[in-house]
Amino acid sequence: MAFVVRVMATGVFDLLHPGHVYFLREARKLGDELVVVVARDTTARKFKHEPITSEQSRLQMVDALKPVDRALLGHEGNIYDILDEIRPDIIVLGFDQIHNEERIIEECRRRGLRTDVVRLPRFEGDLDGTRKIVRKVGEWLALQKGPARGARANPRGDGRATSRKRKRRA
């Protein structure tokens, strides 16, 4: 039987974006199998933010991605307990994940695992973070509520808005 290098990646994966795709593609390149642990809502609240999408929705989205061989929800409580279940050879961290590499290695050794930890470099892109997407949507919504709302362009071209209400013909 051939030795399979199992890679584990973790994250909230709230509002999937190109940074997530980069993270998972690069993680997949490091081994033969990519197992992705999607953070529980409670874990997301504790370490990052209130999730916008539910843990089940996030799990379905991540599981459908091409680089992912298997996706599962993390454990409630101790985030390291899932190591016993997955038994990864490599754990991949994103550049902005708050996890401490030394602490992860210590937890792995305590469980009899000889896991390596790799932190990926920053991905630069337009909407490469959930907060950037939220900010962009907020800006878009603000534009929709601008002064022209409730009025339509004036076909006469004199700069005055015309009412949306139409007069009834008699």
Q: pTM here?
A: 0.75
Nearest Cα neighbor of 130 from 8, 11, 40, 10 is: 11
The pLDDT profile of the chain, 170 residues, written as one tens digit per residue, is 668 999 999 999 988 888 889 999 999 999 999 999 999 988 888 777 778 889 999 999 999 999 999 999 999 888 899 999 999 999 999 887 888 999 999 999 999 999 999 999 887 765 556 666 667 667 766 778 876 554 444 444 444 444 445 555 55
Go through the domains of the chain in sequence order and give each one's CATH number.
6-119 (3.40.50.620)
Backbone angles phi, psi at 144, to 5 degrees: -70, -25
The answer to whether the beta carbons of residues 5 and 53 sit under 8 Å apart is no
Q: Classify 63 as helix, strand or coil.
A: helix
Residue 30 tokens read as 């490091």
